[in-house]
Amino acid sequence: MKIVCVGRNYLAHAKELHNPVPTSPVLFIKPETALLRAGDFYLPSFSKEIHHEIELVVRINRAGKSIAEDFAKNYYSEIALGIDFTARDLQEELKKQGLPWEKSKGFDNSAFVGNFLDKNAFENIQNLDFALQINQKTVQTGNTQDMIFAIDKIIADISQYFTLKVGDLIFTGTPSGVGAVQIGDVLEGFLEGQSNFKFSIR
Ligand code: ZN
């Protein structure tokens, strides 16, 4: 199982980190050990600035390589919300040096995933409101219609480079409003107004 993430997929987020707007999906991979399905998130010792990035997560349900965009919808049936935890201080340092991001993005438990829901429960998955609350205050809001690259396009692009397998997860990018989490924070994610996850930072 692998976790494929899309960077800079919402215009306002690309701008808030002073990144250029991509012309093709920016991809990176987190290893299986990054997955956090239940329980709280423990701040790692190597960073003083762990950021939250709330994202729509898609679960692949059949294997595929070089999937055509028109058929991509047949390769997933469940969606959830997740948090792409990012050691922003480390990432900025690595970016400055022109080095890969892996340490800042792929560390243990950096990919929190909430409860999976049948995509058919939603009329249009490219028009879903989602939000992150920290201590009951909304810090990030987004709508999947604002993705620069839509889910089917992302799957088509990823599968040109990486064969997708059953159980692989795709993090589809975060809207603006990323920021640091602190010990004691309670994070709750909402998809179309329904709570999808709730956990604490420790
Ligand atoms: Zn992200």
| Centroid of ligand 1 to alpha carbon of 183 (angstroms) | 21
76-85 pLDDT, tens digit per residue, is: 999 999 999 9
Instruction: Return d(Cα 196, Cα 80) in angstroms, integer.
Output: 7
DSSP for 90-126, written as a single string: HHHHHHHTT--SHHHHSSTT-EEE---EEGGGSS-TT
| Centroid of ligand 1 to alpha carbon of 173 (angstroms) | 5
| Centroid of ligand 1 to alpha carbon of 123 (angstroms) | 25
Q: Which CATH number fits domain 3-126+141-182: 3.40.50.2300, 3.40.30.10, 3.40.50.300, 3.90.850.10?
A: 3.90.850.10
Query: Average pLDDT over the chain, rounded to whole?
Result: 97
10-60 pLDDT, tens digit per residue, is: 988 878 888 888 899 999 999 999 999 988 999 999 999 999 999 999 999
Residue 61 has pLDDT above 90, yes or no: yes
- Rounded to an integer, the average pLDDT of 94-120 is 97
- Rounded to an integer, the average pLDDT of 178-198 is 98
Instruction: Return d(Cα 152, Cα 75) in angstroms, integer.
Output: 9
| Centroid of ligand 1 to alpha carbon of 11 (angstroms) | 13
Instruction: Return d(Cα 19, Cα 136) in angstroms, integer.
Output: 30
Task: Give pLDDT, residue 19.
Answer: 85
Helix (H) or strand (E) holding 158: helix 151-161
Residue type, 175: P
Residue 193 has pLDDT above 90, yes or no: yes
| Centroid of ligand 1 to alpha carbon of 74 (angstroms) | 24
Q: Is the CB of residue 106 less than 8 Å from the CB of residue 27? A: no
Upper half-sphere CA count for residue 158 (Cβ side, 13 Å): 30
| Centroid of ligand 1 to alpha carbon of 148 (angstroms) | 13
The first and second tokens of residue 2, run together, are 């692998």
Helix (H) or strand (E) holding 32: none
Task: Give pLDDT, residue 39.
Answer: 87
Task: Give pLDDT, residue 3.
Answer: 98
pLDDT over 70 percentage in the chain: 100
79-106 pLDDT, tens digit per residue, is: 999 999 999 999 999 999 999 999 999 9
User: pTM for this structure?
Assistant: 0.97
Task: Give pLDDT, residue 136.
Answer: 98
| Centroid of ligand 1 to alpha carbon of 189 (angstroms) | 15
